[in-house]
Structure 1
């Protein structure tokens, strides 16, 4: 590359030791100290953003005795620590600003009875998580079995006789022969048969 090239900027060279030393450095502000002030130390409460300039030895001594809460009453310290959890930003209770919905007649509506296992929405009418329906005969109900029950349109607590009766009813309803040869219900019929076979294999009917 030529030195008169328009994209030529400069050649970076490693400076010698003397050039790397900082010749301008303020003096330590500790009384009676004339060492270079290489470190900063906060001046304290109500003087945020302001710093003392100390040398290494004196900044370490200053930090050992520094206490931001010096002179503050205990309740003020507690309030400061509580506000620090939210970054000293204002907060509101959940549902305070328009959380309540209004019904069709303009009346305030509070959703009652929704699941609130951790008690977060207690002021809005939340309750603990409803107890799930106990499995039949103490057996575990998997997601596949739940989907099969939903496909047949029966409850998990249905008896084998109820499941079989429901299966026969749905087969008659969705079979093409019962719909004048219409095959548009074949997919639904296939789901019903698969659901019934799954429950039968799992021992529910």
Structure 2
């Protein structure tokens, strides 16, 4: 092998990386500059993925004056910002599917049923009539016993149960009886009955 061989230089001598980058780097895109353009800067809107190459001084000047929205009006800028919330992907209105939007009311003005199950009982999705309120459910054995413990009728509403519970707690609490703990068992029964009714959805 000859001593001046290009292979010998690559093997024996560490290559000068800066010199190699200067050879490979394009010339600075700034007008009148002959320095190597080792710094990339984006070309701008509608040229995503394309870059200009500048030297360090001119890339600083370019970045200071760079404006992605140059040439766009205020309405176009607002539209771009709004679309960027969804990643510039199309969106559809709620309640529409491949066959088109489903009207929220029947031609008669009554709320529409979907699959025979759902109904707009509060009139949120249309101006039709509201469905009649559901009948109160009949209490089970433990729930009826809890109502009996509180001393309220079986068909009592939630407000009646809450008021009765508060009154009984005040009546049987030891603090209300001068520290007498004789009614603690009765107070425990009242609290357990109220918890059961609350978990069952009666109050």
TM-score (norm 1): 0.47
TM-score by length of 2: 0.47
